[in-house]
């Protein structure tokens, strides 16, 4: 079955990450609907129940909602860069190391509540490293007074830069369906051979892309986050060993193409093969 594609436009900042394989997590926060609240005064002998009608919408003033994201990773070693948009022109980002099966708690995340009933936030996660054959990717969002429902999509980059037009034509955001543990609400995502973590040295390219946004008047970007990103990326590059050879990544390129071949046109397949040959030729 052909996976569902992203229905709406991707976030505007995704255009700076097209050369990196990544996950897009579109999170919808919906206000918990309670049309009436019963307030009982237990000290009142009459035990009256007062109903407050909350169904009427009121004009909303600008405010921010804070929430937490827990990212669980099993069967992956490397580092994760994430970026999200608290509001239309504002981006926040960070990068962290992942060496063991663990859960990362990203606290004090926030978003502008653009309408009273709820809002949406887009996250992009860029992995640099290697996924093992058995792996799990888990997302858990908590927001006070909100029901949170994430949808996960993936973008597989061929990492070929000599014919960018064909990459854009071939690559699309496709939905990643979760596996739900029987008898529970716990869900996780499994990563197959169709998705490869980005090469370690590509962290430099990502830092350069993000650094190019600094100083732009149309983008709200914190300078301290940029300095922190550069410092952490340099530290990771010095400490993390090489993940795999060029030969291994060539095989992954071919496996990824094989996974998608039945959904691509003949011209798209030929163009992608030409890019692979061109890129890996000495």
d(CA 135, CA 27): 23
Closest CA to 156 of 134, 132, 127, 179: 127
State pLDDT tens for residues 213-267. 877 888 888 767 888 888 888 877 766 555 445 556 677 778 888 877 877 888 8
Question: Is the sign of the CA dihedral 178, 179, 184, 186 positive or negative?
Answer: negative
pLDDT above 70 for 182: no
pLDDT above 90 for 123: yes
Closest CA to 28 of 100, 123, 101: 123
Averaged pLDDT, 189-205:
86
Say what the pLDDT of residue 217 is: 82
Is residue 141 within 8 Å of residue 148, measured between CB atoms? yes
Say what the pLDDT of residue 125 is: 96
State pLDDT tens for residues 8-21. 788 999 988 988 99
Say what the pLDDT of residue 192 is: 86
Averaged pLDDT, 257-279:
79
Is residue 236 within 8 Å of residue 97, measured between CB atoms? yes
Say what the pLDDT of residue 157 is: 73
pLDDT above 60 for 174: yes
CA dist 186 → 28, 121, 139, 181, 271 (Å): 18, 22, 10, 6, 41
Is residue 163 within 8 Å of residue 267, measured between CB atoms? no
Q: Residue 154 — φ and ψ, nearest 5°?
A: -130, 150
Which ranges of the chain would DSSP assign to H, the alpha helix?
164-170, 202-211, 223-239, 246-260, 266-280
Is residue 73 within 8 Å of residue 140, measured between CB atoms? no
pLDDT above 90 for 100: no
Say what the pLDDT of residue 46 is: 38
State pLDDT tens for residues 14-73. 988 988 999 999 988 887 765 444 334 434 433 343 333 444 444 445 577 888 899 999
Confidence (pTM): 0.71
Question: Is the sign of the CA dihedral 198, 202, 203, 208 positive or negative?
Answer: negative
Say what the pLDDT of residue 115 is: 63
């Amino acid at each position: 079955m052909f996976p569902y594609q992203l229905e709406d436009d991707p976030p505007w900042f995704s255009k700076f990450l097209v050369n990196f394989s990544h996950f897009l997590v579109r999170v919808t926060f919906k206000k918990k609907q309670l049309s009436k609240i019963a307030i009982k005064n237990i000290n009142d002998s009459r035990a009256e129940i007062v109903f407050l009608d909350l169904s009427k919408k009121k004009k909303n003033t600008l405010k921010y909602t804070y929430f937490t994201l827990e990212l669980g990773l099993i069967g992956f070693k490397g580092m994760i860069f994430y970026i999200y948009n608290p509001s239309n022109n504002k981006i926040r980002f960070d990068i962290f190391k992942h060496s063991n099966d663990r859960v990362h708690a990203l606290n004090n995340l926030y978003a502008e509540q653009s309408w009273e009933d709820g809002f949406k936030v887009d996250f992009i996660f860029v992995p640099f490293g290697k996924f093992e054959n058995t792996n799990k990717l888990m997302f858990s969002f908590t927001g006070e007074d909100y029901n949170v429902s994430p949808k996960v999509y993936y973008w597989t980059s061929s990492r070929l830069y000599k014919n960018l037009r064909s990459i854009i034509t071939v690559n699309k955001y496709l939905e990643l369906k979760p596996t739900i543990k029987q008898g529970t609400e716990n869900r996780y995502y499994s990563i197959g051979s169709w998705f490869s973590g980005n090469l370690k040295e590509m962290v430099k390219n990502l830092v350069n892309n993000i650094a190019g946004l600094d100083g732009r008047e149309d983008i709200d970007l914190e300078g301290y986050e940029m300095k922190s990103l550069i410092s952490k990326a340099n530290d990771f590059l010095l400490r993390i060993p090489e993940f795999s050879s060029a030969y291994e990544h060539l095989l992954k390129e071919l496996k990824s193409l094989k996974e998608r071949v039945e959904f691509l046109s003949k011209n798209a397949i030929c163009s992608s093969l030409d890019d692979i040959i061109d890129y890996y030729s000495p």
